[in-house]
Amino acid sequence: MLFPNPFPNLLTPDPVVRAALTSALAQTGLTFPAERVHLDTAISIAAVINPTSTSPRFAYAGFRDTEMHFSGSLLKAAAMFAAFQLRQAASQHVLTAGDCTASVVFNNLKSAFNQSIKNAAPRFQTEPGITEDMRVPKYPTIFASPAELASGGCLISFSQVFATNMRGMIVPSNNPPTSACIQALGYSWINGLLAKTGLFNPSTNKGIWVAGTFTGAFPAVRVPSVNDGDSAQATTTIDMCRLFALIVEGSILDSAGIDGIASGMRKLLADAQSVGDSSWMTTGARQGVNGLGAGFTITHSKIGLGGLAAGGEVASDGSVITHTGTGQQFVVVWQNLQNTFKHHNAMSFLIRRIMLNFLGIP
């Protein structure tokens, strides 16, 4: 199946997390009143209940979490998701193919997938300057020559060049490899997938939207945002938090085919934190930025940073965080933060206080 069924919303509104967030916003307003982080930023946070079980629960609360904001490189996580989903769909499609010759397989995928992909994102068929080549995947670029399976059928994997570009997109968060990935995947695949899986709502233009290449290689296609007017890279925190929760939970994403994809995405996000462009909340990573401080470990992250049309820069962050004393895990997404030392320190204070409040720690 090309498109999975709409994903379930794993985020469950929780009064304890809500109370922790509400209290933390007030505490931050008292401690950092001038920065207005408690008023202007958008936040989603989920406490992961029973994270090692087969069905963890994500106890959730948010603030301004349904607002669309320009969020820069945080949206690269959605392009990564689109790449892995395409690999999974292609793997399932060729599971019983009789001929694994690359040209045969890729032409088969083009014939089987491309019209459905274009239909899933009809806006791109009428956008000025958006050509067929910009809408649909370039299968020979994304995938290596298929291998024959002993049981029959073919095995699909990323090409070395595409895998390298995807790592460059997520781990150091560089724009040229990001552009190469988005150009290879196509606007209609990325955004059609997000719409089909329930992570973007075309009727409201709310959710995760990626229709710019970060280099201008393709014309940008924009949706309204609160902080930057019409934007080609925008999201709500609740929908990005839903995506991170799906990646953490894993089994829902993996259930659509034989090609398990969640672990590959977790690995890239873990490497982004450990050896790449780590979370803004990482203690000691950036001079002048305090981070979360002692007692918390950030295991996975993807950050964003970009300039606004009206001037100034905004930062964003999607992270998985563990409280070292209790093992409690949290999924945190925030955006629309002014990129100054004081604003980052206020945000780290806010997120730390939410988690400590939830844990009942003064």
The average pLDDT across 200-223 equals 98
CA distance 303 to 283: 15
DSSP H helical segments within 7-101, as ranges?
15-31, 37-40, 76-93
Structure tokens at 178: 């990001």
Structure tokens at 8: 């379930």
Whether 349 contacts 32, CB under 8 Å: yes
Reply yes or no on whether the pLDDT at 52 is more than 80.
no
pLDDT band at residue 45 under the 50/70/90 scheme: very high
Count of Cβ atoms closer than 10 Å to residue 150 Cβ: 6
User: Could you identify the residue written with the tokens 């931050």?
Assistant: 28
State residue 54's pLDDT score.
77
Dihedral sign for Cα 299, 318, 182, 195, please.
Answer: positive
Mean pLDDT of the chain: 96
CA distance 331 to 217: 33
Whether 234 contacts 223, CB under 8 Å: yes
DSSP 222: -
CA distance 251 to 88: 13
CA distances from 109 to 157, 183, 189, 192 (A): 14, 17, 13, 17
State residue 114's pLDDT score.
98
CA dihedral angle for residue 170, residue 175, residue 180, residue 182, rounded to 10 degrees: 70
User: Could you identify the residue written with the tokens 């999924």?
Assistant: 331
State residue 151's pLDDT score.
79
CA distances from 294 to 100, 246, 304, 349, 354 (A): 53, 28, 24, 12, 15
pLDDT digit string, tens, across residues 74-93: 999 999 999 999 999 999 99
State residue 257's pLDDT score.
83
Q: How many whole angstroms from its chain centre is CA 111?
A: 29
pLDDT digit string, tens, across residues 109-148: 999 999 999 999 999 999 999 999 999 999 999 999 999 9
Whether 169 contacts 177, CB under 8 Å: yes
State residue 253's pLDDT score.
96
Q: How many CA atoms lie within 13 A of 3 on its CB side?
A: 24
CA distances from 105 to 98, 108, 141, 161, 279 (A): 10, 5, 13, 19, 40
CA distance 92 to 155: 9
Reply yes or no on whether the pLDDT at 156 is more than 80.
yes
CA angle 273, 63, 211 (to 5 degrees): 60
The average pLDDT across 164-182 equals 98
Q: How many whole angstroms from its chain centre is CA 234?
A: 11
State residue 286's pLDDT score.
96
pLDDT digit string, tens, across residues 88-103: 999 999 988 789 999 9
pLDDT digit string, tens, across residues 31-42: 999 999 999 999
State residue 128's pLDDT score.
95
Reply yes or no on whether the pLDDT at 55 is more than 90.
no
Reply yes or no on whether the pLDDT at 53 is more than 80.
no
pLDDT band at residue 256 under the 50/70/90 scheme: confident
The average pLDDT across 291-320 equals 97
- At 347 the three-state DSSP class reads helix
